[in-house]
Chains A and B, each alone.
Chain A
Amino acid sequence: MNDYNEISRCNRCGFCQSVCPTYLATRDETQVARGRIFLTRMLLEGRYDFTKDEDVLEKVNDCLLCQACVVNCPATVRTDDIMLAARRDFMEARGLSLFQKLVYRGVLSHRERLDRTSFLMRLYEKSGARNILYGKTLRRALDRLVYFDSFLPSGLNKPARTRLNEKMPAVNQPKMKVVYFLGCASNVFTSETVWSAVAFLNKLDVEVLIPKVSCCGEPHHTGGDEGEARRLAKKNVPLIFGVEADFIVTDCSTCASALRHYDKILGDCAEAAIAKPKLSKVIDLATLVTEHLKPSSIDLKPLDIKTVTYHDPCHGIRGLGVKAAPREILKSIPGLELKEMEGADSCCGGAGSYCFTHPTMSGLISTGKVNNIAATKAEAVVTSCPACSLQLGAGLRRAGLDTQVAHPVALLAKSAGLKV
């Protein structure tokens, strides 16, 4: 339950209008942090009811949780936490939504089922079924399907895990030992990034452990399904915090931010006692490379692209405070120019599965982002989050642009001559 006094610290100054992605896309007060806070206050004042008022839940779910308002709020009102608490209250009063049951608890909670969805997606693409979608008559009728289809990259690889052993071989006298947290989306959608990253770490004499983890729990957590998030977190703790390692690293900013804040999800339990002292060891891949490894010893060669732009994932820039590291990596690649886009740190509208639950709003936000990317004329947009990668890729494909999407460390590995 939200704290009334905390919520009403918002005195509606309106500064969130200048950064809230859903407001900037619509210029509509029903789509801004100030409005969402006001509604949550009205819930606590009893004007609305958690058990009945679906329209209020909709508004609460419209928030991307991108935290842009939080860092721009003169009173630092934590809209993200307030929305999470409201979602929990709605969940408790109304139960899970069908989407949450099917996708979060049904698939993301089970590692093997997630791998199977990868198979189905590849089958869909390779069988030619996707081409039917693009037939002229069907296209209009199936607009929504075409939207969803745009998220599926062509030439989707097998899940990353199928090519990785739990412990990667071939590191003699390792200089460092890391636990690599393989997140759901990285595993299924950006396996090349994972392979590149692991190969690159091995090349720098880093021993990489890849335990069979479950979903980090963030999708469940953001949907208000606190119990399931805690169950998953408890399963993961011994696997990642219970082993001796210098760092717990991941290529996904969302997983990294979730793990870094596991104490919030875990509450008081035995697992929390194991995790808490090691939370500061959770690190994103780019920061691990720039701050703790010395990649300067590696011979880097120019890539086939000359210009890139960087998109800051919300969980990277605001969740973890990562800004310089990925940019440093890009600047270290010879012959590569980093062209900053306007609004690099504003949410792309992907926001985990928001792009699937809120196609219209997400599409609007995506269009703005894609325009900013296109304005830089960069050949690739680089980001440190598989969900952002999916969203950016989908938006670019819908706009008919062939801009590549890549992870900074994947580009670095390529520049180091590693092939995956």
Chain B
Amino acid sequence: MTSTHSHLSPEGISELSKIVGQAYCRTGRLDLELYSYDSSPFIHFPEVLVLPGTVEEVAAITALCHRRHWPLTARGAGTSLSGGAVSYLGGVAMSLTRLDRILEIDPIEETVLVEAGVVNLALQNVLARQGFMFPPDPASQKASTIGGNIAENAGGIKGVKYGITKHHVLGLELILDDGSTVKTGALAQGLDAVGPDLTGIFMASEGTLAMVVRALLKITPLPNSFRTVSAVFDDLERSGKAVSAIIAAGIIPTALEIMDHRLIVALEDYLHLGFPTDAEAMLLIELDGLGPELDGQYERILTLCREAGAVSLAQAATPEERDKIWLARRSGNGAMGRIKQGCIVQDVTVPVVKLPSMLSLVQKVAKKYDVIIVQMAHAGDGNLHPHLLYDLKNEEEYKRCLKASAEIFREALAAGGAITGEHGIGLEKVEFMNDQFNEAELDFMGAVKRAMDPDGIFNPGKLLPERWQTWSTKSDSSHSSDGLETL
């Protein structure tokens, strides 16, 4: 804690207004209200909202915030599940959604240069016309931006085979705290990397180190064949055992997704796909590649599922059917609204061998605290997504969810896993950072933060516990209920 922040004065706001223009610098109460939230339960109001339209404007805003000691929280689509996009200490909320240009696709080097506000799915659609994809495909891809994907190091359904965001970012263009611009990785030095991989430290940095304004991404040719299988189980743990068996057999499917009973019912209610609503669990498996090489793997997977106790197996017959299955899976989070309005989404990871026991452990935690926990998982890389549901007006139920949540974090750590796989620390998991990392590791992260952002202007309050923040956090306690959805 080395610095204290300032509140915005009318003169300060007029300076911001000069940078972006009046229409894109707003202090209206509804503008602030509608930029106070993301997809998490956290709600914090900014003091001013800016929507820059160019990289130069971002640089000027950042320099001004630095000079004036204002907190600066960047956001894209505002779909963070951990509170990453809300303005915890007020200050300036900067929406990067207008930076939405796809600048250059290079099919020879297999790269694409994009601005931070490009929507993941919009990029996929443009790339697909040229026969390519950007493999990271978080379930939020309809809305979430590349900038947000980098800030949270988003994974996705294809993560098990293709890796997550950090595996596909070749270089970044960054605005540093003083407003200067630097490039890293392949954007600085071409595709042959020289020197340390500085791009890496910005993956999952949650906007706390610098502003990512452009990114050079690695793109991948679209596979030409798919096999999509849905396996039905009468027990959640058995579906997890099938996953471990498939991975142990040396098969790397594109996707291995587990959905539990309640999720199957909610999604069937939404899309009417003919999902078995009496099933305890479903495992969705996808293989991609060249047609002939898939057949052998496909047969092997069917056998492994049967051995693990699958009660039925079905293959998607048409590309449309396949699209619908994945649309269903991606809609899981939003579909929770069909069950209860309030939702805490976890994304703990465990080693794949521990997945079956972790799935049933979460079920036990739900029973113990008497809360509804809906489970889905990017099972192939051991990334669980327990959704803890509560009624917005039931504070007591919410508190039980928090207790259950804490127990799941502890169990994941005990199993040799991590408290987050892709949703980020944000505000939600700050208090568990001390369990995830030891002093020395946190000191090291704090040193990086101090080097990059000594005055703590970038997204203060997120990612690091208070002791390692470079800015003093709010005095009136960081997790008071005024920062949460109405209870």
- Cβ A11 vs Cβ B334 within 8 A: yes
- Cβ A75 vs Cβ B142 within 8 A: no
Q: Which of A24-32, A217-225, A347-355 contacts B (4 or more CB under 8 A)?
A: A24-32
- Cβ B28 vs Cβ A14 within 8 A: no
Partner of B335, one of A27, A29, A74: A74
- Cβ B34 vs Cβ A27 within 8 A: no
A237 to B266, CA, bound (A): 39
- Cβ B336 vs Cβ A11 within 8 A: yes
A49 to chain B, nearest CB (A): 13
A1-23 residues with Cβ-Cβ distance < 8 A to B are 5, 8-15, 17-18
A232 within 8 A of B: no
Contact with A along B111-122 (1 / 0, CB 8 A): 000000101010
- Cβ B142 vs Cβ A15 within 8 A: yes
- Cβ B37 vs Cβ A38 within 8 A: yes
B437 within 8 A of A: no
Q: Please give, as numbers and ranges, the residues of chain B lying within 8 Å of A59 by CB-CB distance.
A: 30
- Cβ B338 vs Cβ A75 within 8 A: yes
Partner of A42, one of B33, B78, B144, B343: B33
Nearest B residue to A28, CB-CB: B51
Given contact pairs A56-B30, A75-B338, A12 touches B486 in the complex (Cβ within 8 A): no
A77 within 8 A of B: yes
A55 within 8 A of B: yes
- Cβ B392 vs Cβ A8 within 8 A: yes
Partner of A12, one of B30, B37, B97, B119: B37
- Cβ A35 vs Cβ B34 within 8 A: yes
- Cβ B333 vs Cβ A13 within 8 A: yes
A190 to B97, CA, bound (A): 39
A15 to B141, CA, bound (A): 9
- Cβ B343 vs Cβ A29 within 8 A: no
- Cβ B77 vs Cβ A14 within 8 A: yes
- Cβ A12 vs Cβ B38 within 8 A: yes
A233 to chain B, nearest CB (A): 31
Q: Please give, as numbers and ranges, the residues of chain A lying within 8 Å of B331 by CB-CB distance.
A: 15, 74
Given contact pairs A11-B334, A29-B35, A74-B331, A17 touches B270 in the complex (Cβ within 8 A): no
Partner of B486, one of A29, A45, A55, A74: A45
Contact with B along A52-89 (1 / 0, CB 8 A): 00011001000000000000111111000000000000
B332 within 8 A of A: yes
B121-161 residues with Cβ-Cβ distance < 8 A to A are 121, 140, 142-144
A176 within 8 A of B: no
Nearest A residue to B51, CB-CB: A28
A72 to B98, CA, bound (A): 23
B31 within 8 A of A: yes
A51 to B320, CA, bound (A): 49
- Cβ A18 vs Cβ B341 within 8 A: no
Q: Please give, as numbers and ranges, the residues of chain B lying within 8 Å of A12 by CB-CB distance.
A: 37-39, 78
- Cβ B28 vs Cβ A55 within 8 A: yes
- Cβ B31 vs Cβ A30 within 8 A: yes
Q: Please give, as numbers and ranges, the residues of chain A lying within 8 Å of B33 by CB-CB distance.
A: 38-39, 42
A11 to B336, CA, bound (A): 8
B401-440 residues with Cβ-Cβ distance < 8 A to A are none
B428 to chain A, nearest CB (A): 15
A354 to B142, CA, bound (A): 27
Given contact pairs A11-B341, A74-B270, A28 touches B97 in the complex (Cβ within 8 A): yes
The count of chain B contact residues (Cβ–Cβ below 8 Å) is 40
Q: Please give, as numbers and ranges, the residues of chain B lying within 8 Å of A74 by CB-CB distance.
A: 267, 270, 331-335, 337-338
- Cβ A75 vs Cβ B143 within 8 A: no
- Cβ A55 vs Cβ B29 within 8 A: yes
B95 within 8 A of A: yes
B84 to chain A, nearest CB (A): 13
- Cβ B335 vs Cβ A18 within 8 A: no
Nearest A residue to B38, CB-CB: A12
A71 to chain B, nearest CB (A): 10
- Cβ B332 vs Cβ A29 within 8 A: no
Among B38, B77, B98, B117, the most chain A Cβ lie within 10 Å of the Cβ of B77
Given contact pairs A18-B119, A30-B31, A74-B337, A13 touches B37 in the complex (Cβ within 8 A): no
Partner of B341, one of A5, A29, A45: A5
A225 to B143, CA, bound (A): 34
Partner of A14, one of B144, B336, B392: B144
B206 within 8 A of A: no
Q: Please give, as numbers and ranges, the residues of chain A lying within 8 Å of B270 by CB-CB distance.
A: 74-76
- Cβ A11 vs Cβ B79 within 8 A: no
Q: Please give, as numbers and ranges, the residues of chain B lying within 8 Å of A14 by CB-CB distance.
A: 39, 77-79, 140, 142-144
Partner of B143, one of A18, A30, A39, A42: A18
A291-341 residues with Cβ-Cβ distance < 8 A to B are none
- Cβ B333 vs Cβ A8 within 8 A: no
- Cβ B334 vs Cβ A75 within 8 A: yes
- Cβ B142 vs Cβ A17 within 8 A: yes
B100 within 8 A of A: yes
A-B contact pairs, 11 of them (CB 8 A): A13-B143, A15-B334, A17-B142, A27-B95, A27-B97, A27-B117, A30-B30, A30-B34, A38-B34, A39-B30, A75-B270
Apart from the given pairs A28-B97, A30-B31, 4 other A-B contacts in the complex at a CB distance below 8 Å: A10-B337, A13-B39, A18-B119, A30-B34
The 3 closest A-B pairs by CB, nearest first: A74-B334, A75-B337, A13-B334
